[in-house]
Structure 1
Amino acid sequence: MNLPSFPIQALLPQIRTSLAAHTRLVLEAPPGAGKTTQVPLALLDEAWLDGRKIVMLEPRRVAARAAAGFMAGQLGEAMGETVGYRIRFENKISARTRIEVVTEGILTRMLQDDPMLEGVGALLFDEFHERHLAGDLGLALALDVQAQLREDLRIVVMSATLDGEKLARFLDAPRLSSEGRSYPVTVAHFAGRRDESLESQARRAVEEALEKHPGDVLVFLPGQREIARVEAVLSPSPAGRGVGVRVRRSSDGSDMADFAVPQPLEAASISASSGHPVSSTGQALLLEGEGKEIVVLPLHGELSIEQQSQALRPDPQNRRRVVLATNVAESSVTLPGVRVVIDSGLAREPRYDPSSGFARLETVNISQASADQRTGRAGRVAEGWAYRLWPQSQRLEPQRRPEIAQVELASLALELAAWGISDPGSGPGQVLRFVDAPPAGALSAARDLLRRLGALADSNSITALGKRMLTLGTHPRLAAMLLSAQGEEDRALACDLAALVEARDPLRSGGDALAARWRALSAFRQGRVAGDAHRSGLAALDAAAKQWRRRLRVDGTAPREIEAHRLGDLLAHAFPDRIAHQHPLDPRRYQLANGRMARVFDDSAIFGEPWIVASELRYEAKDALILRAAPVDEARLRQEFPQRFVTEDAVRWDAAKRALSAQRETRFDQIVLETKPAGRIDPQHAAAALTGAARELGLESLPWSDSLAQWRERVRCLRDWLPGEGFPDLSDEILLETLSVWLQPAFVGKTRLEALSEDELADALKSRVEWSQRQRIDSLAPPRIAVPSGMERRIEYSHGQSPVLAVKLQELFGLADTPRVAEGRIPVTLHLLSPGGKPLQVTQDLRGFWERTYPEVKKEMKGRYPRHPWPEDPWSATATHRAKPRGT
Structure 2
Amino acid sequence: MQSKLPIDDVLDHLCDALKAHGRAVLVAPPGAGKTTRVPLALLEQISGRIVMLEPRRLAARAAAERLAAQLGEQVGQRVGYRMRGEAVAGSRIEVVTEGILTRMVQSDPELAGIGCVIFDEFHERSMNADLGLALVWESRGALRDDLAVVVMSATLDAEPVAELLDGAPVIRSQGRAFPVETRWLARPLAASSRLIDEAARLIDTAVRETVETGGTVLAFLPGEGEIRRVGALLAGGDCEVLPLFGALDSKDQRKALSEPGSRRRIVLATSIAETSLTIPQVRVVVDCGRARRARFDPGSGMSRLVTERVSRAEADQRRGRAGRVAPGICYRLWARAEEGAFPAFAPAEITVADLAPLALELAAWGAQPSELAFLTAPPDAALSEAKGLLEQLGALDKAGRITLHGKRLAGLPLHPRLGHMLSVAGPQAADLAALLGDRDFLRGAPSDIGLRLSALRDPRGFARQRPYDIHQPTLQRIRDEARRLHRLADNLGGAADRVVVARSSGEMIALAYPDRVGLRRKGDQPRFVLSGGKGAMLPAEDLLANQRLIVAPDLTGDQREARVRRAAPIDEAGLRDLFPEQITTVRFCEWSRRDGKVIARKQERFGVLPLSDQVWKDAPQDLVAAAAFEGLRQDGLPWTAAAARLRARIALVDGDDSVSDETLLADGTWLVPWLGQARSLTDLRGLNLVEPLLQRLGWDGQQRLAAAVPAHFETPLGRKVPIDYGHETPSIQLRLQELFGVTRHPVVAGRPLRITLLSPGGKPVQVTADLPGFWASSYGEVRKEMRGRYPRHPWPEDPTGADPTTRAKPRGT
The TM-score bracket by the shorter chain reads 0.5 to 0.7
* Structure 1 residue 119, shift from structure 2 partner: 1.0
Per the alignment, residue 172 of structure 2 pairs with: 177
Per the alignment, residue 420 of structure 1 pairs with: 366
Give the partner amino acid of 2:429. Answer: R
Per the alignment, residue 878 of structure 1 pairs with: none
1:544 paired to 2:543: no
Matches within 5 A, 1:315-326: 315=260, 320-326=264-270
| Contact map agreement 1:356 1:615 (CA 8 A) in 2 | no
Deviations 1:491-522 (A, max 9, x none): 35525xx42674247343x6554445555666
Would the alpha carbon gap of residues 209 and 101 (structure 1) be closer, same or farther in structure 2, given more than 3 Å must change? farther
1:144 paired to 2:138: yes
* Structure 1 residue 36, shift from structure 2 partner: 1.8
Per the alignment, residue 478 of structure 1 pairs with: 418
Matches within 5 A, 1:165-564: 165-173=159-167, 174-189=169-184, 195=194, 197-198=197-198, 200-236=200-236, 265=238, 287=239, 295-302=240-247, 307-315=252-260, 320-352=264-296, 359-395=303-339, 396-421=342-367, 423-424=368-369, 430-486=370-426, 490-491=428-429, 493-495=431-433, 498-499=434-435, 502-504=438-440, 506-508=442-444, 511-515=446-450, 518=453, 524-526=459-461, 528-529=463-464, 533-535=468-470, 537=471, 540-541=474-475, 543-553=477-487
Matches within 5 A, 1:506-655: 506-508=442-444, 511-515=446-450, 518=453, 524-526=459-461, 528-529=463-464, 533-535=468-470, 537=471, 540-541=474-475, 543-553=477-487, 566-582=504-520, 590-596=528-534, 601-603=539-541, 605-617=543-555, 628-647=566-585, 650=587
Would the alpha carbon gap of residues 643 and 527 (structure 1) be closer, same or farther in structure 2, given more than 3 Å must change? closer
* Structure 1 residue 53, shift from structure 2 partner: 1.5
* Structure 1 residue 198, shift from structure 2 partner: 4.6
Deviations 1:852-887 (A, max 9, x none): xxxxxxxxxxxxxxxxxxxxxxxxxxxxxxxxxxxx
Per the alignment, residue 65 of structure 1 pairs with: 61
* Structure 1 residue 443, shift from structure 2 partner: 0.9
Q: TM-score, normalised by structure 1?
A: 0.62
* Structure 1 residue 111, shift from structure 2 partner: 1.0
Partners in 2 of 1:438 and 1:70 — Cα distance? 35
| Contact map agreement 1:209 1:340 (CA 8 A) in 2 | no
Other structure's SS at 1:553 match: helix
1:159 paired to 2:94: no
Would the alpha carbon gap of residues 432 and 534 (structure 1) be closer, same or farther in structure 2, given more than 3 Å must change? same
| Contact map agreement 2:298 2:382 (CA 8 A) in 1 | no
Partners in 1 of 2:308 and 2:553 — Cα distance? 25
Unaligned 5+ runs, structure 1: 237-260, 266-286, 288-294, 425-429, 557-564, 698-706, 708-742, 759-888
Other structure's SS at 2:164 match: helix
Partners in 2 of 1:126 and 1:466 — Cα distance? 30
* Structure 1 residue 339, shift from structure 2 partner: 1.9
Per the alignment, residue 860 of structure 1 pairs with: none
| Contact map agreement 2:549 2:570 (CA 8 A) in 1 | yes
Say which one has the larger Rg: 2
Per the alignment, residue 110 of structure 2 pairs with: 116
Give the partner amino acid of 1:499. Answer: L
Give the partner amino acid of 1:323. Answer: V
* Structure 1 residue 299, shift from structure 2 partner: 3.6
Other structure's SS at 2:334 match: coil
* Structure 1 residue 368, shift from structure 2 partner: 1.4
Per the alignment, residue 795 of structure 1 pairs with: none
* Structure 1 residue 126, shift from structure 2 partner: 0.8
Other structure's SS at 1:158 match: strand
* Structure 1 residue 186, shift from structure 2 partner: 1.1
Q: TM-score, normalised by structure 2?
A: 0.67
Give the partner amino acid of 2:97. Answer: T
Give the partner amino acid of 1:631. Answer: P
Would the alpha carbon gap of residues 548 and 531 (structure 1) be closer, same or farther in structure 2, given more than 3 Å must change? closer
| Contact map agreement 2:422 2:430 (CA 8 A) in 1 | no
Deviations 1:162-186 (A, max 9, x none): 1112322233322121113422211
Other structure's SS at 1:642 match: coil
Partners in 2 of 1:630 and 1:494 — Cα distance? 11
| Contact map agreement 2:298 2:385 (CA 8 A) in 1 | no
Partners in 1 of 2:157 and 2:292 — Cα distance? 23
Per the alignment, residue 132 of structure 1 pairs with: 126
Unaligned 5+ runs, structure 2: 491-502, 635-653, 655-665, 677-691, 697-813
* Structure 1 residue 468, shift from structure 2 partner: 3.0
Would the alpha carbon gap of residues 313 and 491 (structure 1) be closer, same or farther in structure 2, given more than 3 Å must change? closer
Partners in 2 of 1:482 and 1:751 — Cα distance? 57
| Contact map agreement 2:441 2:475 (CA 8 A) in 1 | no
Partners in 1 of 2:437 and 2:557 — Cα distance? 18
Other structure's SS at 1:643 match: coil
| Contact map agreement 1:356 1:617 (CA 8 A) in 2 | no
Other structure's SS at 2:504 match: helix
| Contact map agreement 2:26 2:172 (CA 8 A) in 1 | yes
Deviations 1:695-741 (A, max 9, x none): x99xxxxxxxxx9xxxxxxxxxxxxxxxxxxxxxxxxxxxxxxxxxx
Would the alpha carbon gap of residues 570 and 3 (structure 1) be closer, same or farther in structure 2, given more than 3 Å must change? same
| Contact map agreement 2:364 2:402 (CA 8 A) in 1 | yes
Partners in 2 of 1:519 and 1:88 — Cα distance? 25
* Structure 1 residue 446, shift from structure 2 partner: 1.2
Higher helix proportion: 2
Give the partner amino acid of 1:399. Answer: F
Would the alpha carbon gap of residues 34 and 752 (structure 1) be closer, same or farther in structure 2, given more than 3 Å must change? farther
Partners in 2 of 1:310 and 1:600 — Cα distance? 40
| Contact map agreement 1:578 1:593 (CA 8 A) in 2 | yes
Partners in 2 of 1:623 and 1:313 — Cα distance? 45
**Identical amino acids, percent of aligned pairs:** 42
* Structure 1 residue 321, shift from structure 2 partner: 3.7
Would the alpha carbon gap of residues 493 and 399 (structure 1) be closer, same or farther in structure 2, given more than 3 Å must change? closer
Other structure's SS at 2:67 match: helix
* Structure 1 residue 624, shift from structure 2 partner: 5.9
Other structure's SS at 1:20 match: helix
* Structure 1 residue 300, shift from structure 2 partner: 3.6
Deviations 1:371-394 (A, max 9, x none): 112212222232221122333333
* Structure 1 residue 594, shift from structure 2 partner: 2.6
Matches within 5 A, 1:598-747: 601-603=539-541, 605-617=543-555, 628-647=566-585, 650=587, 665-672=603-610, 673-675=612-614, 677=616
Partners in 2 of 1:323 and 1:588 — Cα distance? 43
* Structure 1 residue 613, shift from structure 2 partner: 2.0
* Structure 1 residue 319, shift from structure 2 partner: 6.1
Q: Which segment is superposed worse, 332-341 or 221-230? A: 221-230
* Structure 1 residue 143, shift from structure 2 partner: 1.8
Other structure's SS at 1:386 match: strand
Would the alpha carbon gap of residues 582 and 38 (structure 1) be closer, same or farther in structure 2, given more than 3 Å must change? closer
Deviations 1:303-335 (A, max 9, x none): 5666545544544x6764433333332212333
Partners in 2 of 1:219 and 1:443 — Cα distance? 37
* Structure 1 residue 89, shift from structure 2 partner: 2.0
Per the alignment, residue 87 of structure 1 pairs with: 83
* Structure 1 residue 575, shift from structure 2 partner: 1.6
Would the alpha carbon gap of residues 525 and 444 (structure 1) be closer, same or farther in structure 2, given more than 3 Å must change? farther
